[in-house]
Amino acid sequence: MLIRNAIRSQVKARLRADDLARLAENRAATDTLTGLINPRAIFALLEQIVAERRPCWFGVIDLDGFKAINELYGHVSGDHLLREVATRLSSFADEGTSIARIGGDEFAIVQERPMTAAQIVRLGDGMIEAVRGAVTYGSQKLTVSASCGFAHYPDMAADTMALYERSDFALYKAKQSHRGHTVVFNKENELEIREHVLIERAFREGDLENEMFLMFQPQTNILTGRVVGFEALARWRSASIGLVPPDLFIRVAEKSGYINDITKLLFKKGLAAAASWPVDVRLSFNLSLHDVSNLDTINWIIGQVKESGVDPARLDFEITETAVMFDFDLSCRALGMLVDLGAKIALDDFGSGHSSFEYIDRLPLHKIKIDKSFVDKVSHNRVSVEIVSVILTLCQRLNLDCVLEGVETTKQLEVLSGLGAQLIQGYLFGRPMEGPRVLESLMQFERKLSA
């Protein structure tokens, strides 16, 4: 009996040890907030799949608007939302589908069943649709959307890291141009990602303080003939890869996290230039989506303006519809801080988005810049003429300034003048110029006026 009891005790002890080991293993593989598997576990699974050369899809799904939930309602509400999102996503998990939380508001999917690109898009869009429904927390109704990117092993990547990078790049493309949908990595993206890697390396290794500079394009009041301001345009001449197109390096800077540093660097240069101009000449400076959704950057900008001695009333901050869509509530708060400082806000590329008119009512705007695509056609397209006319009339009634971009011909100017346009920007009145030429250009305009 004593021997039997001793054996039983030993068996129980071993069982308890096994249970504790399994419990510890489960805890090591589980995200404590949501109960989903964690990054360590999902990437271990992915490593195993790649080691065994089993085909799979890997996806990254990211919440759109989550940061605003934390900002407005607090982290407790944000955590509740994440748990609910995790519950909804876990309903898609089965023997061939694994779901993990891999970051603050970022989730990963491993799909081991054979699927075409069209089928994986349907799966991703189904997850996005499930996430989109409102979440109730006390008296609050919390709402977010999501975007998703997928890449396939081995068709699109040779190892785990490359697979993650390509699915993350597909997610970036979704957020950039297809927000609220699923994007699958493709061959064109492969060329882009190589280009992006080259530019990121140049960011890391370059002397950005000396390589980054501004060009200034005049904005002219055609009724008075005077230059009323200059738009600061970002330029980069890399020591390793040469002159990089601004739309390209800004896109890479946004994706790689360099954009706030570049904004700060260029804004200081813009302020220094404006300090040497006449006090009635304005500076227009562009803010990216990552700038207007980052209150630290906005507070830094405010501090720089106060230190510079430049009157905030001389500053226009240009934003795009895409920038405010990224996190609308937080963007409104950031823009409100700049307005409180005394600066003005301009909505750039007006008419190029699907809901630009909606933002006139919802944003603290002082100025609208009509997209160049309309100006290009006013000399020969009646529809463009009518659209520009409507926007000019709307701005007049709402007491908003209106700048017409991309004016390049006297025929365009003639049509726009007839519609009542006053503020013009384009090659007809001046190409972008380097800082030292601004004062020279202003003196030339003054001599023309006095002649």
Q: Where exactly does CATH 3.20.20.450 map onto the chain?
A: 210-450
Q: In the structure, what pLDDT confidence band is assigned to residue 315 with cuts at 50, 70 and 90?
A: very high
- Predicted local confidence at residue 15, as pLDDT: 38
Among 195-209, 346-360, 394-408, the range scoring the smallest mean pLDDT is: 346-360
- Predicted local confidence at residue 448, as pLDDT: 62
pLDDT exceeding 90 applies to what percent of the chain?
62
- Predicted local confidence at residue 65, as pLDDT: 79
Q: Are the beta carbons of 141 and 95 closer than 8 angstroms?
A: no
pLDDT > 80? residue 165: yes
Q: In the structure, what pLDDT confidence band is assigned to residue 203 with cuts at 50, 70 and 90?
A: very high
- Predicted local confidence at residue 77, as pLDDT: 86
The verdict on pTM exceeding 0.85 is: no
Backbone φ and ψ of 164, nearest 5°: -65, -45
- Predicted local confidence at residue 340, as pLDDT: 97
- Predicted local confidence at residue 326, as pLDDT: 62
Distance CA 330, CA 311 (A): 25
Cα four-point dihedral sign 176, 177, 183, 188: negative
pLDDT > 70? residue 368: yes
Q: In the structure, what pLDDT confidence band is assigned to residue 351 with cuts at 50, 70 and 90?
A: low
Q: Where exactly does CATH 3.30.70.270 map onto the chain?
A: 30-185
pLDDT tens, residue by residue, 110-137: 999 999 999 999 999 999 999 988 888 8
Tokens for 179, please give them. Answer: 């927000």
Residue holding tokens 């345009």?
233
- Residue 165 one-letter amino acid: E
- 333-346: average pLDDT: 96
Q: In the structure, what pLDDT confidence band is assigned to residue 5 with cuts at 50, 70 and 90?
A: very low
pLDDT tens, residue by residue, 232-265: 999 999 999 999 999 899 989 988 889 999 999 9
- Predicted local confidence at residue 21, as pLDDT: 46
Which is higher by pLDDT, 407 or 143?
A: 407
Q: What CATH architecture does domain 210-450 belong to?
A: Alpha-Beta Barrel (3.20)
Q: What CATH architecture does domain 30-185 belong to?
A: 2-Layer Sandwich (3.30)
- Cα–Cα distances in angstroms (integers) from residue 121 to residues 125, 154, 178, in the given order: 6, 18, 12
Opening angle at CA 75, ends 72 and 76, nearest 5? 110
- Predicted local confidence at residue 23, as pLDDT: 41
